[in-house]
Amino acid sequence: MEKTMHVLVFVAAVAAVLGISYLWSILSVKGLEFSHRFEKDRVFFGDTVNYIQEITNAKILPLAWIRVDTEVPAAVEFLKGNLVPHHRADKKILSGLYSLLWYQKIRRKYPVYCKSRGIFAFGPGILSTGDVFGFFEKEKPMGSTASLIVYPRIVDIIVAEGKPDITLSGVIGRKTLLTDPFCFTGTRDYVPGDLLKCVDWKSTAKLDRLRVKVYDSSFTKRISILLDVNTFEIAWEGIDPELSEFLVILAASVAKKALDQGFEVMLASNGRMASPEKDTDLITLIPYGSGSMHLRNILECLARLSNYSIFEIKEILPRTLGMLKKGSKVIYITGIWGKNTEKVVKLLQKMGMDVVLILAGKKNAKLKGPEGVLTYHALGEEAWREISLIKLV
């Protein structure tokens, strides 16, 4: 009889522990909150930024353990944190184990080194917790994602002695001609050299930064950048990753130089902008604009730009030419030179465009551009991660 009582007490104790543990596990996911973000969601290649996770236990029940597993891109480098493999090669799992008291909030910072340009999604993930004994485990999915955009590198662009400047070929500082003071097409950010009488004070007050009027005129300081992302003349031959990144750096640096000199800049490319949320156009076209916000748009575009395209550069011309006028300056940046690319240059020349050709890569070092076209060579693609300037020769 006494043994039977001991067994019953033991069974009752085990049942009570299991019941409490099960109830604890059910309640453990209640009032559990998770958020994540970056200190800065737009950074440059080579920067280090903190990825921040916050976990809140908004209830009276303490949590002996909680595991946070978050999907993160493999293309960035975590300088701190426990990473485990993911079933996808381009992903990893950031895993952290914590404990939380009642109504406690913890914050964890993970320094991330940005070793690749692009747009990266952190998340979704899973919160796992349970009872204090570990008998039962419950999961709570985290559907939110935090995005990080890594801009390409920007370096100084210098021209070899004896060669004209890349932007206006020796006519830097030239202003608009035949300006109609009663007809302006919009406003843009102020750049050094703009006249005080051109400031649009209404827009300046509204946006809290200096804005100037853009007048209709027969000549405007405009540059169109035409970027071919392919590194082989026939697309299926493959990708040269170093040359591909070098081309993007060239385009970003030329755009920055032109905008700093007060130009309106347009970017057209046969590359597609990647987006984790929605489909994008098969080619890229950023209309003319100026100022710091336009530079940001161009850099964001180049950050997301693919390094491969099924389209040849000539196939994007119909959409681009409608925005160009006779005499417009076009800077054509390419890492390949063949019959198709030569046809593009000749077509632009035939239409009266002022074409500047930049041939990138050591494989093009000895090639000459078409007669009558200002041609530069840009070398150093193998060291694109370290270079501080690009010399056009």
pLDDT tens for each residue of 252-272: 999 999 999 888 999 999 998
Give mean pLDDT, residues 178-200: 63
Give mean pLDDT, residues 235-257: 92
Strand order in 146-151's β-sheet? 42-44, 146-151, 118-122
pLDDT tier, 211 (very low <50, low <70, confident <90, very high otherwise)? confident
Mean pLDDT, the chain, whole residue set: 84
pLDDT of 171 higher than 50: no
Give mean pLDDT, residues 363-368: 87
Cα angle: 22, vertex 57, 113; to 5 degrees:
115
pLDDT tier, 226 (very low <50, low <70, confident <90, very high otherwise)? very high
Q: Provide the whole-model pTM.
A: 0.81
Q: Strand pairing partners for 140?
A: 127
pLDDT tier, 136 (very low <50, low <70, confident <90, very high otherwise)? confident
| Spatial CA neighbour of 132 closest among 7, 263, 28 | 28
DSSP 147-207: EEEEEPP--EEEE-TTSPPTTTTT-TT---SS--TT-EEEEEE--TT--GGGB-HHHHHHH
